[in-house]
Structure 1
Amino acid sequence: PFSRIRILKRLSRRPMSVKELAHAATIDAPAATVAVNDLEDRGLVVREIDPANRRCKIVSLTEQGYAVVRKIDAIDDPAPDVFAALGDAELKQLQEILRKLRA
């Protein structure tokens, strides 16, 4: 599911707690826990005790998880045809808007 891909992509940037991951993936904490359980069962992530806070667990990608992210990144994902209606200046403006939203 796309929600799992989104979580894998977020974790490829850095390990996170489930709470941080839920926020980064814009899902609620219970959904993040279900997703992490699924990804852990598939061998794509691992949970480890946070050395800074032993009550918290940090989720990180396994080597297999990084391999899946590399496969995802290698897929050509062209823009929908509707974007062909935009000129170069409009596309640059859209890129800037999207860059701000990601930040």
Structure 2
Amino acid sequence: MTETPHPAPDPPGDADQAARAARVWAAMSALVLTGEDRRKEVTETLGISFFRAKALRRLLAGPLTQRELSARLATDKPQTSLIVDDLEQRGYVTRSVHPDDRRCKVVTLTPAGTDAAEQAERILARPPRALLELAPEELAVLDRIMARLSPEAP
């Protein structure tokens, strides 16, 4: 009879490290996702769904075709059309024919849409109170750690 190989036991401390990482991740998620509900603040301030605000924010960099906007929102074309229709009725965007392809529509922010998108950006960029309440040394340590964890970090 052959024995089924067993995986090597974890080195001492690995379980503690994994548990600690799980606690840190849960705390980070709670801080960002539930601590201060910025999404709710955006929707209440602008009077539109967070997803519509997200569409406006994606257009801040410049006009996009509806297909490009769909891709940036990770949604299907019919859903994007409904969102753009609503934003157009509210005066936040205009839709025009693409100069090189008449089958495509280009979505552009109006001045009111730019104001709304920038307001959403300001709300979302505001640090949570818990971060503002850290001692300068604690914030400096957290800043260094987050820089190491950043996708752009070397």
Q: TM-score, normalised by structure 2?
A: 0.55
1:73 is displaced (CA, Å) by 2.5
Q: How does 1:20-31 map to 2 (within 5 A)?
A: 20-31=68-79
Choose from 6, 9, 13 the match for 2:57.
9
Matched residue of 1:23: which SS? helix
Distance in 2 (alpha carbons) for counterparts of 1:46 and 1:22: 16
Residues in 2 aligned to 1:12 and 1:32: alpha-carbon distance in whole angstroms:
17
Q: 2:143 aligns with which of 88, 96, 103?
A: 88
In the TM superposition, 1:35-54 aligns within 5 A as 35-54=83-102
The whole-number CA distance in structure 2 between the counterparts of 1:46 and 1:57 is 10
1:70 aligned to 2:118?
yes
Q: Which residue of 1 aligns with 2:23?
A: none
SS in 1 for 2:82: helix
CA 1:90/1:20 → structure 2, altered by over 3 Å: closer, same or farther?
Answer: same
CA distance in 1, matches of 2:115, 2:129: 27
Q: CA deviation at 1:54?
A: 1.2
User: Aligned-pair distance for 1:70?
Assistant: 2.1
Higher Cα Rg: structure 1 or 2?
2
Q: 1:28 to 1:93 in 2, by over 3 A?
A: farther
Identity of aligned residues (%): 32
Deviation at 1:7, TM superposition (A): 0.6
Matches of 2:109 and 2:79, distance apart in 1: 18
**Unpaired runs of 5+ in structure 1?**
none
CA RMSD of aligned residues (A): 2.4
1:32 maps to a residue whose letter is T
Supply the distance in 2 between the matched residues of 1:89 and 1:71 (Cα, whole angstroms).
29
Question: How far has the Cα of 1:79 moved from its partner?
Answer: 4.3
Against the structure 1 CA distance between its residues 88 and 11, is the aligned structure 2 distance closer, same or farther, given a 3 Å change threshold? closer
- Give the corresponding residue for 1:58: 106
1:65-95 Cα distance to aligned partner (Å, 9 max, x none): 011122222325324859x89833321123x
